[in-house]
Amino acid sequence: MNVMAKAEKKISSAFIYFFGSFGGILFGYDIGVVTGALPFLQADWHLENAASLVGWITSAVMFGAIFGGALAGQLSDKFGRRKMILMSAIVFVVFSVLSGVSPDMGEASAYYLIIVRMLLGLAVGAASALVPAYMSEMAPAKARGRLSGLNQTMIVSGMLLSYVVDFLLKDLPGEWAWRLMLGLAAVPALILFLGVLRLPESPRFLLRKGDEAQARKVLSYIRKNPAEIDQELASIKETAKEERQANQKTSWSTLFSGKYRYLVIAGVGVAAFQQFQGANAIFYYIPLIVQKATGQAASSNLMWPIVQGVILVVGSLVYMWIADKFNRRTLLMVGGAVMGLSFILPAVINWMMPNMNPMTIVVFLCIYVAFYSFTWAPLTWVLVGEIFPLAIRGRASGLASSFNWIGSWLVGLIFPIMTASMPQEAVFAIFGIICILGVIFVKTCVPETRGHTLEEIEEQGTNHGRVKASNPEN
């Protein structure tokens, strides 16, 4: 036992934060890898005219993630964050390999891959829920903002890594290229598993299970001041007590009571708009978008995902720099307006100048990704983390996450079907209109949370409910 304690004592806070957030790499890698694999998969299985199957293969991971996030949240309360991250890594390894060895048996192959990717999505959804929870419970309060930015940087770094791998493998025979691209997702999952084996359990979970001695030991790895450890233990105990009391007094119907309705609609609405604005259409289908615009083979356009990935990583770093310098609403409205125009203007230009350079749409897509990367991409989850009062936080956060994954799944599913039936510019113009609607939603339905305590934010919701009650015609 002493040997084990000695080994644990050597764990540095940098190691804990790095591997605690490493799940974001898996999340990002699996989101991005299908971008390069899809052109080769389509050619190998002759799916060029099977838009619905292509949509399902692409979006199956997000469909599984809808359930993976909710399931992991409940199981992690019972078994612990660390154990569930380990289980997610194992699921990742198994189903990444099974994706890469998909049997070649005609149309049935597509259905096999869809099912396997749905099961893989359970791990993706779990990672998206468990990593932020683990990080928020390990990080000191003063560093939580930066570390939430670290999680976003890990996700987009995983996407960039997958784009680079896709590019490096593009000259292999088509039937090998897509299999290796999908199968290699097992490598970062294995690294995560080995890293998390050395991670301690979250002190919050340990206290919930009554193991205060172990919780104190874990905090000693990542806090230097004994007085700070005592204060944090007391704070965790008090918060856990309040949450237990809150959960006993609330139900799903509580979310839509007059007192909380305004804040729930705001948080869930922002989470839904983030996906319905169409970002994932670019991330999943950019080689096919360039192919449709220029006529060049999608498999020869794998440099464009790397460009998008670099923009995303740089944008995540820009966000960490500006996060506390501008209001949340301002960034969301400016970002959404530019994103909307980036989608709408190509359709307008093409209508006015039918001989428009086909690469114009790709340039505008890069502008969209740039503004998305430091506004809606990170701020959605910052705002969701701040806006829900303690009494409804668990249920409301789960609802916001579910709507976000549903949006991600639907965009991945319907985009190829839409582009098969109408011009690409018209499809993006529709997403552009949704971006503008998102701006209007933020302006009219979302309170400012920057610089406000959680209690002040809750008071805004309560006051808004009172105003609505006294002015029912509004």
* Model confidence at 183: pLDDT above 80: yes
Do 180 and 284 share a structural domain? no
The number of domains in the chain is: 2
H helices of 223-374, where? 226-249, 261-276, 279-294, 303-322, 328-352, 360-374
Summarize the confidence of residues 41-48 as an average pLDDT.
88
Task: Tokens for 308, please give them.
Answer: 């998008």
Structure confidence at residue 6 (pLDDT): 43
* Model confidence at 60: pLDDT above 60: yes
Q: Is residue 458 part of a domain?
A: yes
DSSP 8-class letter at 449? -
Structure confidence at residue 144 (pLDDT): 60
Cα–Cα distance, 154 to 18 (Å, whole number): 9
Summarize the confidence of residues 10-39 as an average pLDDT.
83
Contact 384, 328 (CB under 8 A): no
Do 270 and 345 share a structural domain? yes
Contact 420, 292 (CB under 8 A): no
Do 121 and 36 share a structural domain? yes
Structure confidence at residue 178 (pLDDT): 93
Nearest alpha-carbon partner for 11 in 188, 158, 201: 201
Cα–Cα distance, 108 to 111 (Å, whole number): 5
Range 20-35 burial, b when 16+ CB lie within 10 A, else e: bbbbbbbbbbbbbbbb
Backbone φ and ψ of 139, nearest 5°: -80, 145
Containing domain of residue 146, as a range?
A: 13-199
Structure confidence at residue 315 (pLDDT): 93
Summarize the confidence of residues 85-108 as an average pLDDT.
90
Q: Tell me the per-residue pLDDT of 392-423, one tens digit each, with 9 for 90 and over.
A: 776 788 788 888 889 999 999 999 999 888 88
Q: Is residue 306 part of a domain?
A: yes
Structure confidence at residue 340 (pLDDT): 97
Residue 249: is it exposed, middle or buried by C-beta count within 10 angstroms (0-12/13-18/19+)?
exposed
Contact 361, 293 (CB under 8 A): yes
Do 138 and 261 share a structural domain? no
H helices of 46-80, where? 51-79
* Model confidence at 343: pLDDT above 90: yes
Do 101 and 190 share a structural domain? yes
Q: Is residue 209 part of a domain?
A: no
* Residue 202 pLDDT level (bands cut at 50, 70, 90): confident
Do 317 and 393 share a structural domain? yes
Q: How many CA atoms lie within 13 A of 53 on its CB side?
A: 17
Q: Is residue 393 part of a domain?
A: yes
Last residue of some domain: 171, 199, 227? Answer: 199
Q: Tell me the per-residue pLDDT of 254-294, one tens digit each, with 9 for 90 and over.
A: 777 777 888 889 999 999 999 999 998 998 888 888 888 77
| Nearby residues of 84 by Cβ (< 8 Å), 6 or more positions away | 72, 75, 76, 126, 130
Contact 352, 232 (CB under 8 A): no
More confident position, 103 or 300: 103
Nearest alpha-carbon partner for 55 in 352, 297, 319, 280: 280
Summarize the confidence of residues 22-46 as an average pLDDT.
87
* Residue 191 pLDDT level (bands cut at 50, 70, 90): very high
Do 305 and 188 share a structural domain? no
Do 142 and 29 share a structural domain? yes
> What percentage of the chain reaches a pLDDT higher than 70?
88
Do 254 and 190 share a structural domain? no
More confident position, 47 or 237: 47
Structure confidence at residue 351 (pLDDT): 86
Contact 61, 124 (CB under 8 A): yes
Do 262 and 193 share a structural domain? no
Q: Is residue 327 part of a domain?
A: yes
Among 40-54, 67-81, 234-248, the least confident range = 234-248
Last residue of some domain: 160, 183, 199? Answer: 199
* Model confidence at 472: pLDDT above 80: no
Residue keyed to tokens 């970062």 = 188
Among 32-41, 82-91, 264-273, 380-389, the least confident range = 380-389
Nearest alpha-carbon partner for 420 in 49, 40, 46: 49
Contact 404, 305 (CB under 8 A): no
Last residue of some domain: 134, 164, 199? Answer: 199
Do 254 and 177 share a structural domain? no
Among 32-36, 137-141, 273-277, 300-304, the least confident range = 137-141
* Model confidence at 15: pLDDT above 90: no
Do 313 and 177 share a structural domain? no
> What percentage of the chain reaches a pLDDT higher than 90?
34
Among 4-8, 166-170, 277-281, 346-350, the least confident range = 4-8
| Nearby residues of 129 by Cβ (< 8 Å), 6 or more positions away | 68, 69, 70, 72, 73, 76, 401
Q: Is residue 207 part of a domain?
A: no
Most confident residue range from 61-70, 321-330, 339-348, 448-457:
339-348
* Model confidence at 323: pLDDT above 60: yes
Structure confidence at residue 108 (pLDDT): 82
| Nearby residues of 77 by Cβ (< 8 Å), 6 or more positions away | 205, 208
Q: Is residue 226 part of a domain?
A: no
Summarize the confidence of residues 58-79 as an average pLDDT.
84
To 10 degrees, what angle do helices 393-421 and 424-445 make?
A: 160
Q: Is residue 217 part of a domain?
A: no
Contact 193, 206 (CB under 8 A): no
- Which CATH number does the domain housing residue 415 bear? 1.20.1250.20
